[in-house]
Amino acid sequence: MLPLLTAEQIRRADTHTIQHEPISSINLMERASKAFVAWFINHFPERSASISIYCGTGNNGGDGLAVARLLGHHRYLNIKIVIARFGKNSTADFDINFERLIATGIPYTEIQANDDLPEEKSDILIDALLGSGLNKPLAGDYLRLVTYLNDLQKTVVAVDVPTGLYTEGDQPKDSVVLKADLAITFQQPKLSFLLPGSGGHVDHWQCVNIGLDERFIRSLDSPYQYIEEKDIRQMLKPRTRFSNKGTFGHALIIAGQPETMGAALLSASACAHAGAGLTTACIPESGLTALNTYQPEVMAIVRGVKVADINWEKFSSVAIGPGLGKEQDAKDLLDDLIANFKKPVVVDADALNLLADDPELLKKLPANSILTPHMKEFDRLFGEHQSWWARVRTAIVKATELKICIVLKNSYTVIVTPEGKAYFNSTSNAAMASGGMGDVLTGILSALLVQKYSPVEACIIGCFIHGKAGDELALPNRMSVVLPGKLIQQLPLTMGKLMG
C-alpha cells in the first residue's frame, strides 16, 4: 500500500528526509526536478518543441527553474521562462536555482504585480507557479495570470500539483485552477487527484518517486492508502491441489425482478467466475430459463416462496440488491436476512435504498457487512453531500460507527473499513462506465467472502480485480466500452495472473 499523506504530512516527510538521509534541501529539489524531467522527456521527446515554464517564487517555482536548466542539458532548445514575482518573498532554494539558471544563459522574463502579461506563443506550458504550498484560492495577479493561460487552451504539464488545486479537503467553490493535461507529481498521488472533483482540473497524473523516507512515511499511519498490485498478489491465496467445491463456499445472491433479471444474471455469473464453490441465485420464477441458459452452473431459489423457508445457514455469504426492486417482498427478504443471518452480507443497489428508508435496520446489519453504494445511493443513505471529500469523511464516520465496510464506487473506488481506514483502488477505466458493472462487483465480493477472505480483504481484492479485468480488456485493445458480461469472462484470467 502506498500511504497517502496530506500536504502538511508531506512537508514533515520532506524535513525528516533532509535531516536523516541526510540530503540538503537543494539536492532534494534537484532530485525531484530530475524525476520530473525524466518523465517529461518520455512524454514529450520532441527537442524542438516550444515550451514555456511559468515559475512562482516558492519551492514549486524553484523546481520549475531546475526543470528549465535540466531540459536545457537535454538539448531542449526552445525554452522560455516566465517568473511571476507577485510577492516580495522567495525561498532559499528558489534563489539558488535562480542563480544556477542565470549561469546557463537561458533567457527569462519576470512579471511583477499589475504588469501586463507577456504574449504566450509556446505549444507546451510547464506550470511551476504554485504547488502543495497553496493555502488560499487564487486571487489578484495569480488569478489574472491563470485565467489568461487557461483561455489559451495549450497543453499544460503541472509540476507536482496544478496551480490552485487543493491537495486535500474541499476545493473552495468557484476557485480557479490552472487546468493540467498532465501532473507529474512527487512521491505519491495527491488525495484530491483520486476524487472526481479534480476531474475538470487534471486529466492525467503520473507519480514519480523522489526518495522521501518511506519508513517515516509509514510511521505516520495515514488513514488513506493507495492499493497497489503487489498488495493483491500478497493477499490472493492460490488454489491448492486437493481443494474441492466445498473448500470455496456457497454464495447466495438475492437479486432481479422479471424486468431486471440481467442484474441477477450478471451478479451470479460474476460470483461463479470469481471462484465461489457454489452459487445460488434467489430470483423470480420467470427468470429461471434465463438463468439456466446464461449460467447453468448457478442454482436457483425461486423468489416468492415463503421467506421463512430459506435455510440461511446453508450459505457462507449472502449478497442482496441488484435489480431487486423496492416492493414489499424485497423488504421482507432483507428483513429476514438481517434477522437470521449473522455473517457479513453484501448490500447493493435497491437493498441500499431499502436501508436508506429504514435507518433502524441499517444499524442491525451483521458486523463487517459490506455496503456498495454509488454516489447517489450513498447520499440517500447518509444525507446530501456537496463534495466527494465530504463523502469520504462521512464514510469514515459511518463505517466506524456501524462497524461495516463501505465501498464508495467511483473511478478510484474508496473502501472504508470499520477501523476507519480509507483504501483507494488504483484500477478501472472509463470504458467500464456502464450499467451492470456494479452488479458484477457485488458478485465478486460475495465470491471472495465465501472463499474465506475477510470482508476488508474481499473489498480490497474485489475492487482491484474488477478494475484490473476492465483495464486488461480496454487498455491494450483500445476498447472504448467494456461490457460487464465481457469483464466477467476475463475474471479467471485476471485472478490467475495475480496468483501466479
- The DSSP annotation for 344-366 comes to -EEE-HHHHHHHHT-HHHHHTSP
Question: By CB under 5 A, is residue 132 in contact with K ion?
Answer: no
Q: Report the nearest approach of K ion to the CB of residue 26 (Å).
A: 19
Q: In whole angstroms, give the CA distance from residue 37 to residue 43.
A: 10
As given in the structure block, the three cell numbers for residue 24 are 540538503
In the complex with ligand LP7C6HRI, the residue whose CB is nearer, 140 or 196, is 140
Answer for the pair 291, 283: CB distance below 8 angstroms, yes or no. yes
Stretch that binds ligand LP7C6HRI, among 52-60, 284-292, 361-369, 484-492 (CB under 6 A): 52-60
Determine whether the annotation assigns residue 292 to a binding site. no
> Taking CB under 6 A as the rule, does residue 3 contact ligand LP7C6HRI?
no
Considering only residues 106, 125, 134, 422, which one is a binding residue for ligand LP7C6HRI as defined by CB under 6 A? 134
For residue 335, the tally of other CB atoms under 10 A from its CB is 15
DSSP states of 298-333 as a string? Answer: SEEEEETB-GGG--GGG-SEEEE-TT--SSHHHHHH
Helix 349-356 × helix 328-340 angle, to 10°: 80
Q: Residue 32 or residue 202: which is nearer to ligand LP7C6HRI going by CB?
A: 32
- The residue range among 57-65, 215-223, 249-257, 291-299 that interacts with ligand LP7C6HRI, by the rule CB under 6 A, is 57-65
Q: Taking CB under 6 A as the rule, does residue 91 contact ligand LP7C6HRI?
A: yes
Least distance to ligand LP7C6HRI, CB of residue 269, Å: 45
Task: Pick one of K ion, ligand LP7C6HRI, none as the site partner of residue 32 (Cβ within 5 to 8 A by kind).
Answer: ligand LP7C6HRI
Number of neighbours of residue 473 by Cβ within 10 angstroms: 22
Phi-psi sector, 256: left (phi>0), alpha (psi -120 to 50), beta: left
Which residues have CB under 8 Å from 348's CB, separation 6+? 319, 320, 321, 322, 371, 372, 438, 439, 441, 442
- The annotation status of 127 as a binding-site residue, yes or no, is yes
CB 406, min distance to ligand LP7C6HRI, A: 30
* Residue 132 interacting with ligand LP7C6HRI (CB under 6 A): yes
CA–CA–CA angle 365, 370, 375 (5° rounding): 110
Binding pattern for the stretch 4-23 against ligand LP7C6HRI, x by CB under 6 A and - elsewhere: ------x---x---------
Ligand-binding site membership of 61 (annotated): yes
Cβ partners under 8 Å of residue 401, min gap 6: none
- Which option in ligand LP7C6HRI, K ion, none does residue 48 bind, with CB closer than 5 to 8 A by kind? none
Q: Is 146 a residue that touches ligand LP7C6HRI (CB under 6 A)?
A: no
Sequence-distant (≥ 6) Cβ neighbours of residue 78 within 8 angstroms: 48, 49, 50, 51, 122
Rounded to an integer, what distance in angstroms lies between the CA atom of residue 71 and that of residue 63?
Answer: 12
Q: Which residues contact 308 (CB under 8 A, 6 or more apart)?
A: 336
Q: Name residues contacting ligand LP7C6HRI, limited to 150-179 (CB under 6 A).
A: 159-161
Residue among 421, 484, 426 nearest 456 (CA): 421
Backbone angles phi, psi at 478, to 5 degrees: 50, 40
- Tell me if 374 is assigned to a ligand binding site: yes
Is residue 59 close enough to count as binding K ion by CB under 5 A?
Answer: no
Kindly state whether residue 198 participates in binding K ion, applying the rule CB under 5 A: no
| Pairing verdict, β 224-226 and 2-3 | antiparallel
Q: Cβ atoms within 10 A of the Cβ of 27, count?
A: 13
The yes or no reply on residue 133 touching ligand LP7C6HRI (CB under 6 A) is: yes
Report what 10 binds from ligand LP7C6HRI, K ion, none; CB cut-off 5-8 Å by kind.
ligand LP7C6HRI
**Site pattern 59..78 for ligand LP7C6HRI (x: CB under 6 A):** xxxxx---------------
State the residues that interact with K ion by CB under 5 A.
60, 127, 131, 158-159, 163
Q: Give binding residues for (6S)-NADPHX as ranges.
A: 59-63, 131-137, 142, 160, 263, 323, 374, 439
State the residues that interact with ligand LP7C6HRI by CB under 6 A.
10, 14, 28-29, 32, 56, 58-63, 91, 130-136, 138, 142, 159-161, 186-187, 212
